[in-house]
Amino acid sequence: MGYRLRNPSTANQRPGRLLAVGDIHGCDQLLRELLAQVEPTEHDQLVFLGDYIDRGSGSRRVIEQLLALRQAFPQTVFLKGNHEQMLLAYLAGNDEALDFLANGGGRTLENYRTAGQLSIPKEHLDFFIALRNRYETEDFIFVHAGLRPGIPSDRQSEADLLWIRSEFLDSDYDWGKTVVFGHTPQTSPILTTNRIGLDTGAVYGRQLSCCDVLTRKIWTAG
């Protein structure tokens, strides 16, 4: 599928947005609906917070949508989630393989089986390998899970960036920027002075969320 501006004249008049999207987890239809609402343009910066795969039934279709989006908007940033890390570990045959299967990875593997054989297209595999752990602007830090309090953002361990929960969520530590994150499902987006949390449990029958972090406008699908 491709993406194009629905109303170029209107889009060109709109100031650029800094758009963050929460955990998708194979919910390809919700992603399609959300993007139709948001209508990204070349003036916007999109940041996806990771966990594109597993649990939901459409992981492969999600990646196909994201690749099409990247082709239309090459400036789009894709962060790694713990589920992409587990997939790569599974493919490498290391000790996290069982974790991957226990956390919904089986549904992703089903998406990539052809005649009983696992076959992940090179473009998809390259996408997973190239995912970033962190993205920063002057005012925002984008990560999948969060940050460990007391440690500068550029010195965080990959494990914390992808997996941390309570140590980050229960802390009021201030990194001097707003931290935008997913990973831990909430019933609605977290919007505090220096936190924006966007995993709203799409794969659990709730919503997929996007936020323009500059204005804190929220879009949801589901």
DSSP 73-134: -TT-EEB--HHHHHHHHHHHT-TTHHHHIIIIIHHHHHHTEETTEE---HHHHHHHHH-BSE
Q: How far is CA 143 from CA 12, 18, 32, 136, 164, in A?
A: 29, 14, 23, 9, 11
SS3 per-residue string spanning 179-219? EEECCCCCCCCEECCCEEECCCCHHHCCCEEEEECCCCEEE
Residue 64 pLDDT: 98
Residue 13 pLDDT: 60
Residue 2 pLDDT: 61
The whole-angstrom separation of Cα 128 and Cα 125 is 5
Q: Encoding tokens for residue 60? A: 């492969």
Angle at 57 between CA 73 and CA 143, to 5 degrees: 50
Residue 212 pLDDT: 99
Of residues 2 and 81, more confidence is placed in: 81
One-letter amino acid for residue 91 of the chain: L
Identify the band that residue 103 occupies on the pLDDT scale cut at 50, 70 and 90: confident
Of residues 170 and 7, more confidence is placed in: 170
When mean pLDDT is compared across 4-18, 46-60, 101-115, 147-161, the lowest value belongs to: 4-18
The whole-angstrom separation of Cα 196 and Cα 210 is 11
Identify the band that residue 9 occupies on the pLDDT scale cut at 50, 70 and 90: very low
pLDDT at 170 over 80: yes
Contact 158, 143 (CB under 8 A): no
Q: H or E element: which one contains 18?
A: strand 18-21
Residue 20: which of 139, 100, 130 has the closest Cα?
139
- Per DSSP, the three-state class of 142 is strand
pLDDT at 175 over 90: yes
Write out pLDDT tens, residues 36-81: 999 999 999 999 999 999 999 999 999 999 999 999 999 999 999 9
| Whether domain 16-221 has CATH 3.60.21.10 | yes
Give me the residue label for tokens 């052809």: 114
- In the chain, pLDDT over 70 holds for what percent of residues? 93
Identify the band that residue 25 occupies on the pLDDT scale cut at 50, 70 and 90: very high
Domain residue extents for the chain: 16-221
Task: Please state the rounded mean pLDDT for residues 112-133.
Answer: 95
- In the chain, pLDDT over 90 holds for what percent of residues? 86
Identify the band that residue 116 occupies on the pLDDT scale cut at 50, 70 and 90: confident
pLDDT at 217 over 50: yes
Q: Which residues of 186-197 are buried (b: 16+ CB within 10 A; e: fewer)?
A: beebeeeeebbb
When mean pLDDT is compared across 5-19, 53-67, 88-102, 207-221, the lowest value belongs to: 5-19
The whole-chain average pLDDT of the chain stands at 94
> Could you tell me the pTM of the whole model?
0.93
Give me the residue label for tokens 């696992």: 118
